[in-house]
């Protein structure tokens, strides 16, 4: 993800909409200086501002992160590149997970839209089934990526011996859990208990 490219793209889209930096700032309830930072590549919009900004500029979140308008045939590829980029950058863990969750929600909405639209499209049944399967495969892929990101940012403190550890992916997925704890086997003391989740800094 290139902040400078994204900044120039925001600037170009803003100008196409005949908006000033001040008007964008007023519509998003932020300072004009913040908009200027985005456009010069010195910052990125917070997660809470991405969707409102995209609606204002009539672009998608994927296009915002890519820094360019995307054709349908490259949209999925760019989405995957943006996900990998987000996972490799130094973004705060909570922000990274939140972005993945937003991406999952958007993919789910798209899958539902595809499913509902198939009732009105006149084509072969097998084509409809294939499109629906592909859209839901994308949803399950996003769910898997969300789990992978969650595993990469969480460590657990054993309730028995107090030592910290990172569980295996299978144990993480299958372990019963609450919002703050997960039932796991500690690799240090070997006991199964409700271990406290800690988000990496």
Q: What is the CATH number of the domain that holds 16?
A: 1.10.260.40
Specify whether 103 is located in the same domain as 191.
Answer: yes
Residue 73 falls inside a structural domain: no
CB 93 within 8 A of CB 29: no
Alpha helices in the chain (DSSP H): 3-16, 21-28, 32-39, 47-57, 61-66, 72-88, 93-117, 125-153, 169-174
Measured CA to CA, the distance from residue 89 to residue 3 in angstroms comes to 12
Specify whether 34 is located in the same domain as 98.
Answer: no
What 8-state DSSP symbol labels residue 178? -
Residue 13 falls inside a structural domain: yes
Q: What is the pLDDT of residues 43-89, one digit of tens each?
A: 888 767 888 888 899 888 778 877 888 666 555 555 555 555 555 55
Distances (CA, A) of 178 to 159, 181, 183: 15, 5, 9
Specify whether 62 is located in the same domain as 135.
Answer: no
Domain of residue 11, residue span: 3-66
Query: Which long-range contacts link 171-177 to residues 24+ away (Cβ below 8 Å)?
Result: 172/147, 173/147
Q: What is the pLDDT of residues 123-167, one digit of tens each?
A: 888 888 998 898 888 888 878 777 777 776 778 889 889 888 878
Specify whether 61 is located in the same domain as 132.
Answer: no
CB 160 within 8 A of CB 170: no
CB 71 within 8 A of CB 9: no
Specify whether 49 is located in the same domain as 113.
Answer: no
* Distance, C-alpha 16 to centroid of its chain: 27
pLDDT, residue 14, reads 92
């Amino acid at each position: 993800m290139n902040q400078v490219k994204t900044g120039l793209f925001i600037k170009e889209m803003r100008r196409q909409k005949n908006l000033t930096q001040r008007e964008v700032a007023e519509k998003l309830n932020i300072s004009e200086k913040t908009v200027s930072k985005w456009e010069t590549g010195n910052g990125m919009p917070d997660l809470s501002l991405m969707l409102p900004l995209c609606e204002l500029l009539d672009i998608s979140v994927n296009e915002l992160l890519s820094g360019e308008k995307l054709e349908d045939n490259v949209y999925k590829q760019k989405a995957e590149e943006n996900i990998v980029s987000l996972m490799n950058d130094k973004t705060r863990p909570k922000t990274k997970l939140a972005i993945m969750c937003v991406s999952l929600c958007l993919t789910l909405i798209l899958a539902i839209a595809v499913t509902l639209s198939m009732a009105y499209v006149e084509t072969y049944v097998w084509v409809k089934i294939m499109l629906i399967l592909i859209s839901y495969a994308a949803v399950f892929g996003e769910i898997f990526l969300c789990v992978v990101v969650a595993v990469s940012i969480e460590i657990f403190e054993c309730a028995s011996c107090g030592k910290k550890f990172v569980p295996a992916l299978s144990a993480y997925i299958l372990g019963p859990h609450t919002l703050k704890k997960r039932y796991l086997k500690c690799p240090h003391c070997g006991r199964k208990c409700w271990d406290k989740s800690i988000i990496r800094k």
